Structure 1
Amino acid sequence: MPAPRPALRRRAELHPGAWWLWALGLGTAATRTTNPLLLGLLMASAGYVVATHRSTAPWARSYAAFAKLAFAVLLVRIAFTVVLGSPIPGTHVLLTLPEVPLPHWAQGIRLGGEVTAEALLFSAYNGLKLAALLICVGAANALASPARLLKSLPGALYEAGVAVVVALTFAPYLIADVQRLRAARRLRGRPDRGVRGLLQVGLPVLEGALERSVALAAAMDARGYGRTADVGASVRRTTTALTLGGLLGVCAGTYGLLTAEGGTYGLPVLLGGVAAALAGLRLGGRRSVRTRYRPAPWGLRAWLVAGSGAAVAALLTLASVRDADALHPGVLPLTAPAFPLWPAASVLLALLPAFAVPQDTEGAENPANPEEPS
């Protein structure tokens, strides 16, 4: 089967920012509920999209690591409740641990004691919310190419973006080198486990990481990384004022949306802060002397993917206001969580990218040197 032409491939590519907006929308939705059924449905939807659309590049394998981290966070949250107790009272005692006496200055803290089902359930609900956030971030890391995302950053954020991309891609490629060398040692009949195998694999891995670092530094120097254009002092001051004021407005507006008292001013302040920050980034991009080769297009599919994440976030936020009991199930008394139908249907909108984006969109990328800056 002949390979698709570059022009057709570029039209089929999805903008990496759309994946991040989709994942951030799912993460926002996860913060609006502690219902384990909705959170499980949200994580299952994100996992299905990742399973059908992630590429074979090394950075795309990070989803499994994020899933393991999410599971570890859930276990740690429950373990803390077992050992340190919980402020949630309960009547269903599961076990009683030996309680360690503490000095008088540690009042309010206990080690051991009774472990109730209500406390464990409350801890599991909150731990599952943190796990869902990690799953959403892992989905964005597995679906969006860091190198292509770097090309789409505003000029003012380019240097910081390069540092972030290098940091994000270093660990996945280090893991890929370890797996490749261990497979080669197994084929040669040499040990690949234990301390001996780790020591014999470690040196080639570090050598490969050093070679990639030198190649990356040479590529950055050859492309004039760090050069800036001369701009007037008034432009620099205006850029600083807009960016700083915009970020403060975003923080104040977000705080207003999350509190009941700031519901009236939260959205206008947030929108004004975003507009000021975007204007500051636009002006700050004048100092960046660089060009984009084949910029990632933002088409209809990108709008659908980003819009599906935003729709899930908006609908779950609305549901948390109108039906707070269903989205935040209580543990006193100890009852099973309800399954709200229309919030669950809203979560299923997260599956839209699985059908709107062709499955080979991200699968044919060439990961030969994704760390090289554009």
Structure 2
Amino acid sequence: MPSRCHAAGRDGIRRTPPAGPAARPARHRTSLHPGAWWLWALALGTAATRTTNPLLLALLITVSAYVVATRRPHAPWARSYGAFLKLALVVLLVRLAFAVVLGSPVPGTQVLLALPEVPLPSWAQGIRLGGEVTAEALTFAFYDALRLAALLVCVGAANALANPSRLLKSLPGALYELGVAVVVALTFAPHLIADVRRLRAARRLRGRPDRGVRGLLQVGLPVLEGALERSVALAAAMDARGYGRTAEVPPAVRRTTAALTLGGLLGVCAGTYGLLTAEGGAYGLPVLLAGLAAALAGLWLGGRRTLRTRYRPDRWDARAWLVSASGAAVAALLALAASRDPAALHPGVVPLVAPELPLWPAAAVLIGLLPAFVTPAPVAPHPRKEPT
């Protein structure tokens, strides 16, 4: 009896402490800003584009995989990392297949196999089908494909670590409507897949065919009907929340916003081109920085037209600075190593030599492991208890 009186209130109603809402603010405060994860992952991807050394690229993939394995949250959207790994493997295999079938411009002397060559007309000069496959050509294709695969893996790490809904809240006001469209499009496909699986399971339980053209036609109509109902419900919910309202701004502000945004994007493109070419090294970085500043100013002015509020906005704290700085350090050090010792970061294929692991660039890549130690560990979901 005393324990029951202790658990009950003055009105005699038994109450339990709220576990969900009371625990959410503390968990929200311990989570990392999603923009920091994207900056870290994009910086690692930038570092991957500065080298073709397979040992450094494998180290970059390992670093991103370790951070994902230790800091990936327990959420459905965090399971996309495996899909990016499979996509990277497919890219690697397709690039090697193209090198075997279509040949490579890289000359080689170590012939691995000779395929029958198909004669092509004169207007298809530079393209061949079949012929000799050399070790130099395959090695060059493998290095090039592994660089793209590492970039895809880094993007997959950002998708697995950053919450898309929280990232949408952190977007500037000018990009909010575009971000909503992207998030809705990304969440539409999983719902379709879930509906198809549910309907196929229901047809199997009823003893009806769920495969072939007939099964596909009979499952497709309910799936499309459910997608249409979901779209109508989403549109009604967004309209009830005032989505799409804009504020009145002077025409001069609109023209200034358009000019800054367009000029900033052109500056970013010109600066990026200057950084990627040897002739534009002098003007590439200043033009890129000026373009970024103009584009950010245009986005800030464009956000004045969007009426929106933020509930519990994410804070950019010291851990977010450390995570983004670790990725930026990896990209900067790899770019410095590529300019000072290009032979170590780009091993030669003609003549074919074994790649070596440069020490201080490898140590620079290991800086990317910092998020695994400074960010909070993912919180395991609590099992739901049935009411008694």
Could you tell me the TM-score, scaled by structure 2's length?
0.86
Q: Report SS of the residue matched to 1:42.
A: helix
Query: Equivalent of 2:322, from 304, 307, 314?
Result: 304
Give CA deviations for 1:93-135 in whole Å, capped at 9, x if unaligned: 1111111011112122111100001100100100111111111
Task: Please tell me whether residue 249 in structure 1 is matched to residue 242 in structure 2.
Answer: no
Point out the more displaced range, 149-158 or 41-50: 41-50
Give CA deviations for 1:249-303 in whole Å, capped at 9, x if unaligned: 1111112222222222222211111111111111111100111111111111111
CA distance in 1, matches of 2:320, 2:346: 32
Q: Report SS of the residue matched to 2:112.
A: strand
CA distance in 2, matches of 1:198, 1:44: 41
Counterpart of 2:275, as a letter, is L
**Does the CA-based 8 Å contact 2:74-2:378 persist in structure 1?**
no
Counterpart of 1:12, as a letter, is T
- Provide the residue aligned with 1:347 in structure 2: 365
How is 1:201-350 mapped onto 2 (pairs within 5 angstroms)?
Answer: 202=220, 205-350=223-368
Cα displacement (A) at 1:343: 0.9
- Provide the residue aligned with 1:371 in structure 2: none
Point out the more displaced range, 35-44 or 192-201: 192-201
Cα displacement (A) at 1:48: 1.7
- Provide the residue aligned with 2:386 in structure 1: none
Could you tell me the TM-score, scaled by structure 1's length?
0.90
User: Could you say if the C-alpha distance between residues 234 and 259 of structure 1 is closer, same or farther in structure 2, counting changes exceeding 3 Å?
Assistant: same
Counterpart of 2:352, as a letter, is L
User: Could you say if the C-alpha distance between residues 257 and 155 of structure 1 is closer, same or farther in structure 2, counting changes exceeding 3 Å?
Assistant: same
Counterpart of 1:228, as a letter, is T
CA distance in 1, matches of 2:55, 2:317: 34
CA distance in 1, matches of 2:179, 2:83: 22
Counterpart of 2:279, as a letter, is E
Larger Rg: 2
CA distance in 2, matches of 1:305, 1:91: 46
**Does the CA-based 8 Å contact 1:58-1:176 persist in structure 2?**
no
The RMSD of aligned alpha carbons is 2.5
- Provide the residue aligned with 1:135 in structure 2: 153
**Does the CA-based 8 Å contact 2:31-2:376 persist in structure 1?**
no
Query: Equivalent of 1:73, from 63, 68, 91?
Result: 91
Counterpart of 2:43, as a letter, is G
**Does the CA-based 8 Å contact 1:59-1:172 persist in structure 2?**
no
Counterpart of 2:320, as a letter, is A
**Does the CA-based 8 Å contact 1:55-1:364 persist in structure 2?**
no
CA distance in 2, matches of 1:123, 1:280: 41
Point out the more displaced range, 136-145 or 279-288: 136-145
Cα displacement (A) at 1:174: 3.4
Count of residues paired in the alignment: 364
User: Could you say if the C-alpha distance between residues 92 and 188 of structure 1 is closer, same or farther in structure 2, counting changes exceeding 3 Å?
Assistant: farther
Counterpart of 2:128, as a letter, is R
User: Could you say if the C-alpha distance between residues 108 and 328 of structure 1 is closer, same or farther in structure 2, counting changes exceeding 3 Å?
Assistant: same
CA distance in 2, matches of 1:295, 1:29: 31
CA distance in 2, matches of 1:309, 1:177: 39
**Does the CA-based 8 Å contact 1:228-1:287 persist in structure 2?**
yes
CA distance in 1, matches of 2:224, 2:268: 42
**Runs (5+) with no aligned partner, structure 2:** 1-16, 383-388
Cα displacement (A) at 1:206: 4.0
Task: Please tell me whether residue 11 in structure 1 is matched to residue 29 in structure 2.
Answer: yes
Cα displacement (A) at 1:213: 2.1
**Runs (5+) with no aligned partner, structure 1:** 366-374
User: Could you say if the C-alpha distance between residues 28 and 179 of structure 1 is closer, same or farther in structure 2, counting changes exceeding 3 Å?
Assistant: farther
Cα displacement (A) at 1:66: 1.4
**Does the CA-based 8 Å contact 1:85-1:115 persist in structure 2?**
yes
User: Could you say if the C-alpha distance between residues 176 and 70 of structure 1 is closer, same or farther in structure 2, counting changes exceeding 3 Å?
Assistant: farther
Task: Please tell me whether residue 46 in structure 1 is matched to residue 64 in structure 2.
Answer: yes
Higher relative contact order (CA 8 A, sep 6+): 1
